[in-house]
Amino acid sequence: MASTFEMIPLCSGSSGNSILVRAKGMNLLFDLGLSCKRIVEALEKVGTDPSSVDAVFLSHSHSDHISGADVFIRKYNTDVYATKETLRSFLTVCKKEHAPCLDHEISEEIVFETDEGDVKVLSCCTPHDTAGSVCFKVCADDRSLMIMTDLGHVTDDIKSMAKGVDGILIESNYDYEMLITGPYDYVLKRRVGGPYGHLSNEDCAEMIRELIESGTRRFMLGHLSENNNIPDLAVRTVVDYLSGFGFAIERDYELDVAKRYEPSAPLVVCP
């Protein structure tokens, strides 16, 4: 019998990111970008004991992805998985040491063996303005979930990894007009909007179109900018763009927005 396979964003946005994935009885935490205390509160809200988190994966070393990881890993003795570059940057910002045996450098594929079968975590390099940045896909049986944030554009490798995933949390960071006319200085506008920055609502809409054509139905918009986006605007941009290709929400796809500071409703692949 297939067991629960789902993802629950605990927080999402430029202010902090953390996503819980439950698969075959495992609890995997992707990024820990709020304080340990707030992540623990969020985990408890969704009925998960923080000490039952089996592994923490860090996508890259920006603070909105790692700020709570140091304390969490020491407190709960949790294994942490990241690329060599991310691990190195993370260790330089840790306030105290944790057991070195908890640190795991990731290769392209990590396999966890459980009583119910394997859970695989695949990673793929993302074009983002820090070394060793990756996105993740989690596979259990023949189902898969993906977390795709913090990337300036979608590379062919990422597209091929994402093809046919059952559900995805995808970055919809900024509205182009809001970014251009907004409060950021010129350098920051160029960074966010550049090929190593973040995906705009429009970029996200185009990626969703390709994914719908590959069979994906469940989408959650995430990592929205607080200054350069509004959840309703992000949704409207995606829905309007897709309707131009004949795709209708509810009929052809499900769409949600991950909440900024609190847990969102789960994106469920297997109940």
Write down the least CB distance from residue 140 to Zn ion, Å: 26
With CB under 5 A as the rule, give the number of residues binding Zn ion. Answer: 3
Which lies closer to Zn ion via its Cβ, residue 16 or residue 269? 16
Beta bridge partners of 104: 81
In which residue are the tokens 């200085």 written?
Answer: 185
Query: Does 256 engage in binding with Zn ion (CB under 5 A)?
Result: no
Query: Does 64 engage in binding with Zn ion (CB under 5 A)?
Result: yes
Exposed e or buried b per residue across 4-42, where buried means at least 16 C-beta atoms within 10 angstroms of its C-beta:
ebbbbbbbbbbebbbbbbbbbebbbbbbbbbebebbbeb
Query: Does 62 engage in binding with Zn ion (CB under 5 A)?
Result: yes
Region of 58-66, 85-93, 160-168, 176-184 interacting with Zn ion (CB under 5 A):
58-66
Q: Can you read off the two tokens belonging to residue 10?
A: 């605990």
Which lies closer to Zn ion via its Cβ, residue 150 or residue 166? 150
Write down the least CB distance from residue 209 to Zn ion, Å: 24
Nearest residue to Zn ion on Cβ basis: 62
Q: Work out the angle at residue 196's Cα, subtended by the Cα atoms of residues 191 and 198, and round it to the nearest 5 degrees.
A: 75
Query: Does 198 engage in binding with Zn ion (CB under 5 A)?
Result: no
State which of residues 150, 171, 175, 203 lies at the interface with Zn ion (CB under 5 A). Answer: 150
Taking alpha carbons only, the member of 12, 77, 6, 11 closest to residue 39 is 11
Assign 133 to helix, strand or coil.
coil
Contact by Cβ (8 Å): 219, 252:
no
Write down the least CB distance from residue 229 to Zn ion, Å: 13
Which lies closer to Zn ion via its Cβ, residue 136 or residue 253? 136
Site residues (CB under 5 A) for Zn ion? 62, 64, 150
